[in-house]
Amino acid sequence: MDMYKLRQLLIFSFISCVVIGSMAVKAQSMGVSTGKQVSIEYTLTLEDKTVVDSNVGADPLTFIQGSHNIIPGLESALDGMKVGESKQVTVTPEDGYGPLNKDAVSEIEKTYIPEDSLKVGAVLQGRSPDGKVIIARVVEIMEETVMLDYNHPLAGKTLNFDVEIMDVQNGPKQVIPGTDK
């Protein structure tokens, strides 16, 4: 190979490395913002340090920032974070699963509950008259009736997240119905 071709090859290789390297730096420095696809690793604990959920060592949780697919308090706390950053986030009930609604309980006859679900803590699933899925927990069993709680199990609780940003990518392009955009 003559010196001219060798020199051209070295220059091309150098330029390719610079371009690829700058793309990698740009991807790493991309921050969490609305419309970005974000992947996180997290551990969720309660105030008493009880671990409720964790995906550490498993697949990351991936979502589109701003799409309201995760609780509002966590979503807003992630804004601006970059890949590799970690944070402890405390989410109040109002920014989590809401306050405990004392009216979201009902007492029904035992005969409406399957025999194997007649125990405190059992989770039942049904449908409302308009077809929506309803989930309730058995919270008390009396002689002829059962008390059901329709609150989310984490309603009224302060949530503590240890979260790390694993990846941030451009989100999918949104198509506006009725347009070519």
Distance CA 179, CA 181 (A): 5
- The mean pLDDT value for 56-81 works out to 97
pLDDT in tens, 95-108: 999 999 999 999 99
Number of Cβ within a 10 Å radius of residue 16? 10
pLDDT in tens, 113-149: 999 999 999 999 999 899 999 999 999 999 999 999 9
Selected from 3.10.50.40, 3.40.50.720, 3.30.360.10, 3.40.50.800, the CATH number assigned to the domain covering 32-85+157-169 reads 3.10.50.40
Q: What is the pLDDT of residue 30?
A: 85
Which distant-in-sequence residues (6+ apart) come within 8 Å of 121 by Cβ? 137, 138
Two tokens at 105? 């309980």
Q: Is 105-149 in the same CATH topology as 32-85+157-169?
A: no
Is domain 105-149 classified as CATH 1.10.3860? no
φ and ψ at residue 144, rounded to 5 degrees: -120, -5
% of the chain beyond a pLDDT of 70: 80
Distance CA 144, CA 146 (A): 7
Torsion sign across C-alpha atoms 81, 87, 92, 93: positive
C-alpha distances out from residue 87 to 43, 113, 156, 162, Å: 11, 43, 23, 6
161 contacts 74 by C-beta, under 8 angstroms = yes
Distance CA 99, CA 91 (A): 12
pTM: 0.73
Q: What is the pLDDT of residue 60?
A: 98
Q: Where are the domains of the chain?
A: 1-30, 32-85+157-169, 105-149
Distance CA 60, CA 41 (A): 5
Q: What is the pLDDT of residue 27?
A: 47
